[in-house]
C-alpha cells in the first residue's frame, strides 16, 4: 500500500511535469510558427493617385519629391504621401475598417521597387489601435512580404508579416487596390 502511494505520487508528478513542460515549451520561444499567426486580418487598401497638377477627384496620395534623371526608368527618387481608405471587403464603397497613412519612395534603379512605410489606424467596434509596417516592396513579385514592426492599442507590442498583392490597377482613374494579408505572430 505504501508502494502504491509512491507510485500514485510518481504518476501525479509525471503528469504535472508533462503539463509544465508542454506549457513552458509553448509559452517560451513564443511558439512562433509561420502557419500559426496569433491574429490575422485580411484588408483591402484603396489609393487614388494625384497626377501632376491635375488632381483626380478624391485623390488620396500625391508625390512630394521629383524622380531623379539618370537613375533608371522606374521613378527613382519619387516619394508619395498617402491617406488611404482600408476596407474588409474589396469593394471601395464598403465600410472603412482602417485608415492607411504614410509614404512610399521609389528606390529601384533597374527594376520597380519602393520603400513602403504604412501605418494603419483602427477605430471601430472591432479594433482600436495602430500597426506600423515598414519594408521593401518589389514590384516584380506577385506577392510581397513586409514586416509589421510594431503596434499599439489592441495591437500592443505586435509584430508580424504583411503579404501585399496588387488586386487592381486602373490608369484611367489613377486607382489601385492592394490586398493586405496581415499575420501577427506576437500578440499580447
Q: Which of residues 59-98 bind a second copy (CB under 8 A)?
A: 59-60, 62-66, 68-71, 76-79, 81-83
Size of the site for a second copy (CB under 8 A): 77
* Contact flag: residue 34 with a second copy (CB under 8 A): yes
Residue for grid cell 504614410: 102
| Beta carbon nearer to a second copy, 129 or 168 | 129
Give dist(CA 185, CA 162) in Å, integer. 11
Return the range that interacts with a second copy (CB under 8 A); candidates 39-47, 88-96, 135-143, 171-179.
Answer: 135-143
Cα(163)–Cα(36) distance, integer angstroms: 15
> Is residue 152 part of the contact set for a second copy (CB under 8 A)?
yes
The reply on whether position 39 binds a second copy by CB under 8 A is no
- Minimum Å gap between C-beta 173 and a second copy is 16
Amino acid at each position: 500500500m505504501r508502494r502504491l502511494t509512491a507510485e500514485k505520487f510518481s504518476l501525479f508528478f509525471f503528469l504535472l511535469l508533462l503539463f509544465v513542460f508542454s506549457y513552458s515549451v509553448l509559452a517560451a520561444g513564443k511558439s512562433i510558427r509561420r502557419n500559426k499567426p496569433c491574429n490575422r486580418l485580411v484588408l483591402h487598401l484603396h489609393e487614388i493617385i494625384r497626377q501632376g497638377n491635375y488632381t483626380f477627384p478624391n485623390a488620396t496620395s500625391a508625390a512630394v519629391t521629383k524622380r531623379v534623371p539618370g537613375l533608371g526608368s522606374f521613378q527613382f527618387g519619387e516619394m508619395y504621401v498617402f491617406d488611404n481608405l482600408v476596407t474588409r471587403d474589396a469593394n471601395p464603397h464598403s465600410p472603412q475598417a482602417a485608415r492607411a497613412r504614410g509614404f512610399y519612395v521609389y528606390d529601384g534603379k533597374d527594376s520597380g521597387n519602393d520603400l513602403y512605410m504604412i501605418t494603419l489606424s483602427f477605430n471601430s467596434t472591432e479594433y482600436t489601435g495602430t500597426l506600423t509596417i515598414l519594408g521593401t516592396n518589389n514590384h516584380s513579385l506577385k506577392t510581397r512580404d513586409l514586416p509589421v514592426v510594431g503596434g499599439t492599442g489592441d495591437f500592443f507590442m505586435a509584430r508580424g508579416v504583411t503579404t501585399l498583392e496588387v488586386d487592381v490597377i486602373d490608369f484611367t482613374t489613377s486607382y489601385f487596390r492592394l490586398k493586405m494579408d496581415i499575420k501577427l505572430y506576437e500578440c499580447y
